[in-house]
Amino acid sequence: MPVPRKTPSLAAACGLILAAALALGLAFNLVMPQGVGWLPPWVSRPLWQPAGLPQAAALHRQGALFVDARDPSQYKTARVRGALSLYPSELKLIYPLLKDTLAKAPLVVVYGRSRSRFPAAQIGQFLRGQGLSRVYVLQEDFAAWQAAGLPVSTPRRRSGS
């Protein structure tokens, strides 16, 4: 007499599908060269040095070059005084234009932090890879810099245009 195959309930089948997806995804990412780690390499294996707000403020006073890694729209609204804009999505396009300025800077501080991304760390890693030796990444976001009353530039509106 044939034994009837036991069919899992809908919830159990959904759970098994999720478990299989997680196991396969984990195995693939461990084995394959293109697999991703828990964190992006610019966070898990940083080549840059972290800088807290007081240290970054001191570096700003000493003439460090600040790099804004946020989106250009945010940079245009407000930025650290004297900062350049260099953001991940157009890094390869913009970097050659800023290369000489960055190379002349005694040290560079990159800022720009958000919930899912850490573009400042990505840019900091890139700059270290380009041969810049003293690269710091601000561990706070721009809002914290602004709230601390540190130097900020906001573009003036043209009157009558």
Partner 1 sequence: MRPWSEALSLACRLFLAALYLWAAHDKVWQPAEFAGAMAVYDILPLWSVNAASVALAWLELMIGLLLVSGVWVRAAAAWAGGLLALFTLLMLWAGFTGAGFDCGCLPGGGSHPAGFEAALRDFLMLLPALWLLWRPGRWLALRPL
Figure out which of the listed residues 2, 3, 4, 10 binds partner 1, where binding follows CB under 8 A: 10
Told to check if 50 binds partner 1 by CB under 8 A, we report no
First-to-last CA distance in the chain? Answer: 90
Nearer to partner 1, 139 or 151 (CB): 139
User: Strand, helix or coil at 127?
Assistant: helix
Integer Cα distance of 20 and 23 in angstroms: 5
x/- contact string, 55-94, with partner 1 (CB under 8 A)?
Answer: ----------------------------------------
Long-range contacts: 38-41, Cβ < 8 Å, 24+? 40/118, 40/121, 40/122, 41/125
- Name, in order, each residue with C-beta under 8 angstroms of 100's C-beta and a sequence gap of 6 or more: none
Kindly state whether residue 117 participates in binding partner 1, applying the rule CB under 8 A: yes
Binding to partner 1 by residue 106, rule CB under 8 A? Answer: no
Q: Which residue's CB is nearer to partner 1, number 9 or number 62?
A: 9
Name the residue type at position 44. S
Number of residues this chain uses to bind partner 1 (CB under 8 A):
29
How far apart (Å, rounded) are the C-alpha atoms in residues 60 and 126? 21
- Rule CB under 8 A: say whether 36 interacts with partner 1: yes
Nearest by Cα to 51 from 140, 130, 113? 140
Q: How far apart are CA 99 and CA 112, in angstroms?
A: 20
Of 3, 6, 93, 116, which lies in the binding site for partner 1, with binding defined by CB under 8 A?
116
Residue with tokens 């396009």: 93
> Quick one: 23 or 103, whose CB is closer to partner 1?
23
User: Is 21 a residue that touches partner 1 (CB under 8 A)?
Assistant: yes
Binding residues for partner 1, rule: CB under 8 A, are 7-8, 10, 13-14, 16-18, 20-22, 24-26, 28-29, 34-40, 43, 114-118
